[in-house]
Amino acid sequence: MPDVSSLFGKDIIERTKYSVIVFLAGLLMSLPNLFSNPFAKVIAIAVPLVIIVQCMKIAAYELESMAVSKGWSLQSWYVIALGLMTLMGLVMALTLAVLDWRLYLVLLFGTFATDSFALLGGRLTRYIAAHIPGYEAHPMMKSSPSKTMEGLVTGVLLGWVFTYITLYSCVWWAHLSISPFTVIVVGFIPVIAVLGDIFESIVKRTYGVKDSGTCLGAHGGLLDRIDSICAVFAVVGVALLLIQ
Domain of 92, in residue numbers: 5-243
pLDDT of the residue at 193 = 92
What global pTM score does this model have?
Answer: 0.82
Residue 141's DSSP bridge partners are 144
Q: What is the mean pLDDT of the chain?
A: 78
Question: What digits encode the pLDDT tens for the residues 113-136?
Answer: 888 888 888 778 777 777 777 777
Query: CA 120, 221, 166: angle at the middle one, nearest 5?
Result: 45
Asked if the model's pLDDT at residue 10 lies above 90, the reply is: no
Contacting residues for 10 by C-beta, under 8 A, at least 6 apart = none
Contacting residues for 124 by C-beta, under 8 A, at least 6 apart = 7, 150, 154
Answer whether 212's CB lies under 8 Å from 222's CB. Answer: yes
Overall average pLDDT of the 3-14 stretch: 52
pLDDT of the residue at 50 = 83
Asked if the model's pLDDT at residue 233 lies above 80, the reply is: yes
Q: How many domains does the chain have?
A: 1
Overall average pLDDT of the 98-121 stretch: 84
- The full length of the chain comes to 244
Question: What digits encode the pLDDT tens for the residues 135-165?
Answer: 777 777 666 667 778 888 888 999 999 999 9
Q: What is the DSSP letter of 219?
A: G
Query: CA 199, 202, 203: angle at the middle one, nearest 5?
Result: 90
Asked if the model's pLDDT at residue 88 lies above 50, the reply is: yes
